[in-house]
Amino acid sequence: MQIRIKAIQNEVLQIKTDMLAVGVPEQKTLSGPAKMLDKRLGGAVSALVGLGDFEGKEKTTVMLYTRGKLGAARVLLVGLGKKEKADAETLRKAAAMAAFKAVETKAAKLCVCLHQEMKNIQPAAAAQVITEGLYFGAYRYDEYLSADDTGKKKSAFMDAVIADTSAAFIAAAKKGLAAGAVIGACQNFARTLANRPANAVSPQILAGEAMKLARQTKLRCTVLDEKKLAAKKMGGILAVGQGSANKPRLMILEYRPAKKTKNTPTIGLVGKAITFDSGGISIKPSEGMQDMKFDKSGGIAVLGAMRAIARLKPRVRVLGIVPSAENMPSGLAYRPGDIVTTYSGKTVEIHNTDAEGRMILCDAITYAEELGCQTIVDVATLTGACVVALGQKRAGVMGNDEKLIEQLKDAAKKTGERIWPLPCDDEFVEAMKSKIADLKNAGGKWGGACTAAAFLSQFIKKAKWAHLDIAGVGVWGEDETTAAGSVGFGVRLLTTFVMAL
Ligand code: BES
Ligand code: MN
Ligand code: ZN
């Protein structure tokens, strides 16, 4: 889906469009644009509210047909919920719902009028989150759908406008809109990469995507192939990758700010990109295994964020470091019982080949510090245990620095990509010690998200470090804003985190 969004100064009832989306809070009497609309439609809105068909509740919408009484062919009333609870995420979701419905009804032109009742959000911020929401809701993954007459693949282009009568609003909105368009497009870029199946995305192909991204955005990109990984003795990445015909890669993208001084900090974003996680010799059950194509989501969130960062130009240096491998069982695969010497020199006894994410991340983290990162945030679909603990809407956050975790929490609050802290201290480190090697790659039965993070913590020398376990949040299942497949979790969060530094 291509989408173009503009902010225009106009009376919404005037605008010629296929669909007009109007935000309606949950309240006793109609106000704002909904009231205006009601008047124009001869009481049609109050009639349906009176019948109890629409109460302005969050996640609800209702469609009205205007039959020539205004510029729009249809009106979508979008519930904003209780006014006092509504925030930026409410607005983002409302815009996403509108765009989602517009695609469903094949409305190519959409006009949104969602922010007018939400005076507590500044114009630029409102325009940014609306834009992000429009990108999110308009997204469909249709690369493999034939264009047939059921119209499944009909999501080619959307023209959207954010309308307001105030010139001051429009002027301020334009800036927010530009940032929102970058973030929205980069998140959708990430969703498409994540949604591609493993027969289309190998580590080598993903590295090609990283290089293409670098060419387009003027980032620097280095790719280590299996020979270079071997020369550097990156034993963790090599061990996980050795069972597959698709050889592993390590990608490094670099963003440099225009004004760089000695004191400019370097931030490392490290993302797990397992293009397919079969579990390896410790093979997974077949049910649901198809979803393990999404095990590259952390690495792809880093690629998406780097793309946004290249456009939004923060004042810090950022390295995007993405280790990638395919975890397969074969005659060449690494095995339980193997002892792997990682890039750090630390040895790891393999207890479970399905705990592969940490094996590729540990090498990438060591390398990140070697390349000068003082702050490292890693993102990974690391453990099923995190999903058991937190469900599908919150990522786990762990780390060694409270301030860094707070900064991530702030970014999470702004972006609606929610995170929740979990511990990873000494007792969990103890669980990862091996009798015959420095560490083992799988702990006991309990606290799997915490032991996984504790394992990673052993590879940090002096950097400030935080770890995001996004195993549960990458794919939500379809809902009123969300197409099937990846949601691109982490792109908004990482970008916003970096921009705030
Ligand atoms: N990629 C999986 C984690 C995962 C599970 C992601 C469910 C998304 C949904 C990871 O590599 C894995 O297999 N982890 C194991 C670790 C265990 C063997 C210590 C797990 O969580 O079971
Ligand atoms: Mn695994
Ligand atoms: Zn995995």
SS3 content of the chain, % helix, strand, coil (to 5): 40, 20, 40
Q: DSSP assignment of 447-479, as one string?
A: -HHHHHHHHHHTT-SSSEEEEEE-TTTSB----
Ligand 1 atom with the smallest distance to the CA of 352 is 18
User: What pLDDT shows up at residue 148?
Assistant: 63
Would you say 58 and 81 are in contact if contact means Cβ atoms under 8 Å apart? yes
Give pLDDT, residue 102. Answer: 97
Q: Cβ atoms within 10 A of the Cβ of 349, count?
A: 19
Residue 17 has what pLDDT?
96
Predicted pLDDT of residue 157: 86
Expressed in angstroms and rounded, the spacing between residue 274 Cα and the centre of ligand 3 is 6
Show the low-confidence residues of the chain (pLDDT under 50).
none
Question: How many C-beta neighbours within 10 Å does residue 339 have?
Answer: 15
Residue 321, beta-bridge partner list: 252, 270
Integer Cα distance of 470 and 282 in angstroms = 22
Per-residue pLDDT at 155: 56
Domain 196-500 has CATH 3.40.50.10140: no
Whether 358 sits among the annotated catalytic residues: the reply is yes
Q: Is 233 exposed, middle or buried (0-12, 13-18, 19+ CB in 10 A)?
A: middle
C-alpha angle 16-17-23 in degrees, rounded to nearest 5 = 110
Q: 266-295: per-residue pLDDT in tens? A: 999 999 999 999 999 999 999 999 999 999
Task: Name the 3-class secondary structure at 98.
Answer: helix
The identity of residue 27, as a single letter, is: Q
Compute CA 377 distance to the chain's CA centroid, rounded to the nearest angstrom: 14
Q: Hey, what are 213's tokens? A: 């991204």
- Report the relative pairing of strands 347-349 and 339-341 from DSSP bridges: antiparallel
- 36: three-class secondary structure by DSSP: helix
Residues 411/497, Cβ–Cβ less than 8 Å: yes
Name the closest-CA residue to atom 3, ligand 1: 383
The ligand that comes nearest to the alpha carbon of residue 384 is: 1
161: left (phi over 0), alpha (psi -120 to 50) or beta: beta
Mutate to test the pocket of ligand 1, among 354, 362, 378 (most ligand atoms within 8 A of CB): 354
Domain boundaries, the chain: 2-191, 196-500
Closest ligand 1 atom to 383 CA: 21
pLDDT per residue as tens digits for the range 452-495: 999 999 999 999 999 999 999 988 888 999 999 999 999 999 99
State which ligand 1 atom lies nearest to the alpha carbon of 327.
Answer: 11
Residue ranges lining ligand 1, Cβ < 6 Å: 277, 295, 352, 354-357, 381-385, 387, 442, 448, 471
Contact (Cβ atoms closer than 8 angstroms) between residue 361 and residue 270: yes
Q: How far is 374 from 461, CA to CA, in rounded Å?
A: 10
Q: Quote the pTM value.
A: 0.97
Q: Please say if 92 is a catalytic residue.
A: no
Cβ atoms within 10 A of the Cβ of 400, count?
18
Residue having the nearest C-alpha atom to atom 6 of ligand 1:
471
Counting Cα atoms < 13 Å in the Cβ hemisphere of 172 gives: 13
The pLDDT value given to residue 55: 95
Closest CA to 78 of 24, 135, 137, 12: 24
What's the CA-to-centroid distance between 338 and ligand 2, angstroms? Answer: 16
Task: Say how many Å lie between the CA of residue 235 and the centre of ligand 1.
Answer: 20
DSSP 486: B
Q: How far is the CA of 13 from the centre of ligand 1 (A)?
A: 52
- Residue 179 has which token pair? 């940032």
Which of these, 259, 470, 295, lies nearest to 377 by C-alpha position?
A: 470
Ligand nearest to the CA of 469: 1
Contact predicate 5/132, CB 8 Å: no
Determine the atom of ligand 1 nearest the C-alpha atom of 451: 19
pLDDT on residue 499 = 98
Reduced to 3 states (helix: H, G, I; strand: E, B; else coil), residue 182 is: helix
Catalytic position from the list 40, 83, 284, 315: 284
- Topology of domain 2-191, per CATH? Leucine Aminopeptidase, subunit E; domain 1 (3.40.220)
Residue among 74, 101, 307, 358 flagged as catalytic: 358
What pLDDT is stored for residue 154 in this prediction? 55
The residue type of 85 is K
Q: How far is the CA of 383 from the centre of ligand 3 (A)?
A: 7
* CA geometry: angle 275, 276, 280, nearest 5 deg: 130
Tell me the HSE value of 295 on the side-chain side, using a 13 A CA sphere: 31
